[in-house]
Amino acid sequence: MKDVLWKEKLEFKNEPRTYTGTITEVNDTGVVIQLTGRLGVLKLPWREIITSHRPDVGEKVIFKMNYVELLSDHS
């Protein structure tokens, strides 16, 4: 019974939100981005970066991301 109530309380719209950050490292495999607002760090490979030039350290970035949802149910 507790699990059912817990699930009902967590239902919300999982829509993409806009986040920003600053590139802190550029290397042969990709970039490292420090997220704004103490949200952490993203390490992304080149195939995930949309750009017409090689980015430089200090450049600002913007991206959209959803919350992570668990696919399986522990029933």
| pTM for this prediction | 0.73
Mean pLDDT of 12-27: 91
Query: Are 36 and 23 in contact, with CB atoms under 8 Å apart?
Result: no
Mean pLDDT of 11-21: 86
User: Encoding tokens for residue 58?
Assistant: 């200090």
At residue 60, the pLDDT reads 97
Mean pLDDT of 43-59: 94
Mean pLDDT of 51-69: 91
At residue 55, the pLDDT reads 94
Strand order in the sheet with 41-45: 41-45, 30-35, 17-26, 60-65
At residue 68, the pLDDT reads 79
Amino acid identity of residue 62, one-letter, is: I
Q: Give start and end residues of each alpha helix (H) in the chain.
A: 2-9
Mean pLDDT of 40-52: 94
